[in-house]
Amino acid sequence: MVLKTPLIGLLVVVVVLTACGSIKEREEINAFTKASRDYGRMLRWRSYDGAASFLRARDGAPIAVDIAPLKDIRVTAYKIIRSEVRPDEDAATVTAMIDYYNERENRVKTLTDEQDWWYDPASEHWFLDGQLPDFLHKGR
């Protein structure tokens, strides 16, 4: 009986630690889902400065963005077509299809936006390593 008590205690510790890891991973995935959706909403509603706030290099440095050229761009649809979260790497990738038009051209175009996201455990936030979609040079 003396031998069983430490063994049960060890088993309880292992189960608790495993559950904590799963909970943290789930919270990280939920935070990513929210961040990627919020980013898409900001693009959709022309809040380019808000979308730019998600941009950070992996070293944590903010990425400079000139949003002035986007003043005539209107996103009409933003759809995530592929999303892969890798919590063990604190990373994720997203492929989004974006329909948009330039108010001066009045023609809807579509572009595929490949996004590399990373998680900063210190701030508990997800960031996008890259630029805003290239509305001015891409699209068909």
Q: Note whether residue 39 is domain-resident.
A: yes
The CATH number for 62's domain is 3.10.450.50
Residue 18: domain span: 4-128
CA distance 80 to 77: 10
Q: Note whether residue 139 is domain-resident.
A: no
- 14-51 per-position pLDDT tens digit: 454 444 457 788 888 999 999 999 999 999 999 999 99
Q: What is the 3-state secondary structure (H, E, C) of 44-109?
A: HCCCHHHHHCCEECCCCCECCCCCHHHCCEEEEEEEEEEEEEEHHHCEEEEEEEEEEEECCCCCEE
Residue 5 pLDDT > 70: no
Q: Note whether residue 134 is domain-resident.
A: no
Domain count for the chain, please give it.
1
- 87-125 per-position pLDDT tens digit: 889 999 999 999 999 999 889 999 999 999 999 999 999
CA distance 48 to 46: 5
CB 106 within 8 A of CB 30: no
pLDDT of residue 17: 44
Six-digit token string for 66:
């000139």
Amino acid identity, residue 17? L
pLDDT of residue 98: 98
Cα–Cα distances in Å, from 14 out to 4, 6, 8, 11, 21?
Answer: 15, 12, 10, 5, 11
Q: Note whether residue 138 is domain-resident.
A: no
pLDDT of residue 134: 94
Residue 129 pLDDT > 90: yes
Global confidence as pTM: 0.82
Residue 138 pLDDT > 70: no
Q: Note whether residue 136 is domain-resident.
A: no
Residue 7 pLDDT > 60: no
